[in-house]
Structure 1
Amino acid sequence: MARVSEPSLSARIDQFRRRSGSELGPVLPRHPEVASWRTATADDIDAVHAVMVAADRVDHPTWTTPRDDVADTFDLAHIDHSRDTVLALDAESTVIAFGSSFLHPSREGALNVHLSGAVLPMLWRRGIGSAVFGWQYARGLEQLAEAAGALPGVPGEDWSAQLRVYAEESNRGNQRLAESAGLAAERWFATMLRDLTDGAPEVSLPAAAQESGLRIVAYTHDRDDDARLARNDAFRDHWGSLPSQPESWAKFVGGEFFRPDLSRLVVEADGTIAAFCLASVNEEDWASLGASNSYIDLIGVVRARRRQGLAPAVVAATLRAIADAGLQKAVLDVDTASPTGADALYEGLGFVADERSVALVAHI
């Protein structure tokens, strides 16, 4: 019996678009409380940020999105806000909602689109978010179709595509919106806090690690790209993780919030990075949390050095640096089903779980 070939990636995406009624691409929405709709330009950075912060203060009161996080997306070559972000404006031309659809530049067997957006909280539950999401969803599928069509050859069953949305666990409205479009909850993440007013835990590298030449050092910018490559190796089997690209990584480690003085690396005798704990400080979040704090952005151990006791030591070293800087708390986010058992590791270092968020995904 002849083997039935699987449809190509492009064919699967086209089928998905037809089933969802999105085959014509995004069309500017209509809503009785929105005076006009348009796509975004760099002149809209502050307006978009204002909507995002207003929603942040309700969704997760302990932190807000820095303006630079919004501004940086306007500098990235793979994002075109004139096609990728829609704005809802009121009669005074004030932005009251926005939605973005960002296609990740990685092309390693998968195409990934992240949908994000916000509505001013005083206008929640009026259908504006649904109108925005409909546009985002159609744009995301259009991006996947365009990217699949530009791939060499005819990508088949070995390629995948997905749309992804993150929502706060407490915001059932956002979750229901994504679920109504066929996305399903797939992973949960927890924000964890560590009080440092009584100091940081004392954890050293295991004797075997020290004997092999491993040591903990402060982060320095001459290791920027080495750290990116170590991050990509450490996270390559983590759920939803995609390779960090040089352009976006440079913005992260070169940004005003990143703190190399608080960040720590575990390096081999020859200087190769074996583990890392990278931290940042955004003083605008201090009032929201009620304490000065540092956010730990990334913790990882390269695959060849896992399960050798490096992670507790490098995190503890960063916590000591944060405490020595006079900051009261450390904050991080963790995948609750990480293959490395990270949540148990952080609990062992004194972190306590706080807020939770959920990732919802549509697989194609």
Structure 2
Amino acid sequence: MTANLSARCYAGDRDLRAIADLINTCEEVDRLNEGTSISELQQEFNQPSRDLARDMCLWEDAGGKLIGFAELWISEPGEVIDGWLSFSVRPEARRGDVEAAAVAWGETRMRQVAQESGACVKLRSGIRAQDADRISVLESCGFRVDRYFCRMARSLSEPIAEPEFPEGFALRQFPGEEDSEAWVEMFNQSFIDHWNHHDLTVEKFKYDLGKPSYRKDLDLIAVAADGTYAAFCYCEINVEECDRTGRNEGWIAVLGTRRGFRKLGLGRSMLLAGLQRLKAAGVETAILGVDAANPSGALRLYESAGFHNIRDSISYVKDV
């Protein structure tokens, strides 16, 4: 199949419509809730530290029709650099060698990263546990299972308990960009001992604050008596996605407690506060994702707050 296709780099905004159409065509068949729009792709592609010329590849037929698209999310430099590979192939072109070509492209790109950085690199890809075809592709290309994740949901029509903050801690809205460094430090200290953590940068955080979906009323922090940022819960409502799917959902996008402030009940209190804010915003269902092997007991916390599992996914990895 790839003998009849030409591969090329991303050519900028003029490719956005074709990529969105490809992803949405795949969504009509796969029903993975992974549809998109041109504006959503622009927000995704324009994030800091992305090398769009080298971290995306498009495969077209002789008539210029987009058949396959692959992209890599490459982590910030460190001892280990991860490249998260995602790819879409038109349903009629699957079970050929386009998928293998996408994986081979990802491997080649990550070897370039290794040569340039001197770091150990890994190629990763996350998929839904029910996607037997994609599992077959990855395993045939030498990937192995590395981690399992759950997507959980909770109806906001059910009662939400009142948050109970420990003495000396106060719930606040995040003040804004001027406190970005303090928030990023809290985030990194909260997740530094978690699986596959890569430090968040202030640049990336500020970019997220500028997204159209960002709402200050959904960005919550717990502040200790000495002013230290101790815990956080940021919720997000993607209006475009809700309009596209017909579902009224909001995300508990990130939730964490800083090291040194754990086992005080802050995580539960922040979660409940976030749920209250989503409900006040008119959302019907709260969604979140969680590492099934999270060492902090996050899965138990979410279950105790009324969440139930709606989807399993798998993280695959390959050394390159």
Answer whether TM exceeds 0.5 for this pair.
yes
Unaligned runs of 5+ in 2: none
Q: Which residue of 1 aligns with 2:46?
A: 75
**Alpha-carbon shift at residue 59 of structure 1 (Å):** 4.7
Q: Which residue of 2 aligns with 1:267?
A: 223
Which segment is superposed worse, 319-328 or 44-53? 44-53
Q: Which residue of 1 aligns with 2:194?
A: 238
Q: Which residue of 1 aligns with 2:128?
A: 168
Distance 2:24 2:40 in 1: 12
Q: Which residue of 2 aligns with 1:327?
A: 283
Q: Is the 8 A contact 1:63 1:285 kept in 2?
A: no
Q: Which residue of 2 aligns with 1:103?
A: 74
Which segment is superposed worse, 220-229 or 320-329? 220-229
| Paired residue secondary structure (2:54) | helix
Instruction: Work out whether 1:190 is the aligned partner of 2:154.
Output: no
Q: 1:316 to 1:77 in 2, by over 3 A?
A: closer
| Paired residue secondary structure (1:278) | strand
Q: 1:50 to 1:238 in 2, by over 3 A?
A: farther
Amino acid at match of 2:196: G
Distance 1:175 1:216 in 2: 43
Deviations 1:269-304, CA, capped at 9 Å, x for gaps: 233211111111112332565431211210100011
**Alpha-carbon shift at residue 66 of structure 1 (Å):** 5.7
Distance 2:24 2:186 in 1: 32
Distance 2:159 2:218 in 1: 15
> 1:338 pairs with 252, 273, 294, which one?
294
Instruction: Work out whether 1:217 is the aligned partner of 2:217.
Output: no
TM-score w.r.t. length of structure 1: 0.80
Instruction: Work out whether 1:179 is the aligned partner of 2:149.
Output: no
Q: 1:146 to 1:186 in 2, by over 3 A?
A: same
Distance 2:185 2:11 in 1: 32
Distance 2:202 2:29 in 1: 33
Amino acid at match of 1:334: V
- Let me know the Cα RMSD of the aligned residues: 2.3
Q: Which residue of 1 aligns with 2:117?
A: 147
Distance 1:188 1:97 in 2: 27
Q: Which residue of 2 aligns with 1:302?
A: 258
| Paired residue secondary structure (1:305) | coil
Counting matched residue pairs gives 318
**Alpha-carbon shift at residue 240 of structure 1 (Å):** 1.3
**Rg (Cα) greater in structure:** 1
Deviations 1:103-154, CA, capped at 9 Å, x for gaps: 32232x2222222221123433233222222222222222222221xxxxxx
**Alpha-carbon shift at residue 256 of structure 1 (Å):** 1.0
Distance 1:233 1:299 in 2: 13
Distance 2:116 2:40 in 1: 26
Amino acid at match of 1:247: E
Q: Which residue of 2 aligns with 1:285?
A: 241
Deviations 1:236-293, CA, capped at 9 Å, x for gaps: 1111121112222222222111222123211112332111111111123325654312
Q: Which residue of 2 aligns with 1:86?
A: 57
Distance 1:121 1:287 in 2: 25
Q: 1:249 to 1:45 in 2, by over 3 A?
A: farther
Amino acid at match of 1:46: R
Q: 1:195 to 1:76 in 2, by over 3 A?
A: closer
Q: Which residue of 2 aligns with 1:24?
A: none
Which segment is superposed worse, 188-197 or 239-248? 239-248
Which segment is superposed worse, 309-318 or 220-229? 220-229
| Paired residue secondary structure (1:291) | coil
**Alpha-carbon shift at residue 309 of structure 1 (Å):** 0.6
Q: Is the 8 A contact 1:61 1:289 kept in 2?
A: no
Q: 1:66 to 1:190 in 2, by over 3 A?
A: farther
Deviations 1:312-347, CA, capped at 9 Å, x for gaps: 100100101111111101111100101111111101
Percent sequence identity is 26
**Alpha-carbon shift at residue 69 of structure 1 (Å):** 5.2
